[in-house]
Amino acid sequence: MSKSGQKVESRPPEMASRAAEASDAIDHLRNDPEIRRALALVLMRQAMKALEEAEEDRACCHLQAAIDSLLERYVDGVPSATN
């Protein structure tokens, strides 16, 4: 039984193995540094919009500097040797 009181049925073995494979693939992506940087960039850009709407100019400037720092580490799509 689930928390809502509904009966929970188990997955057939073939579905369970596909779910495990998908979970492994997601875990692999989470550990990929380029994927993590891209996600960080997306989140920072979303935060920038929220800060602009809240008229938080100083915080917006600091976040823009962090975005610039992240982006300047790449030249021609190749990450620099230093992080």
pLDDT, tens digit (0-9, with 9 covering 90-100), for 40-57:
999 999 999 999 999 999
Residue range of the domain that includes 65: 34-75
Residue 19 in this model has a pLDDT that exceeds 60: yes
60: nearest Cα among 49, 71, 68, 72: 49
Asked whether residue 46 is domain-assigned, the answer is yes
Asked whether residue 65 is domain-assigned, the answer is yes
How many domains does the structure of the chain reveal?
A: 1
Model pTM above 0.75:
no
Phi-psi region of 77 (alpha: psi -120 to 50; beta: other; left: phi over 0): left
Asked whether residue 47 is domain-assigned, the answer is yes
Asked whether residue 49 is domain-assigned, the answer is yes
Asked whether residue 66 is domain-assigned, the answer is yes
Q: Half-sphere exposure of 52 toward its Cβ, with a 13 Å CA cutoff?
A: 7
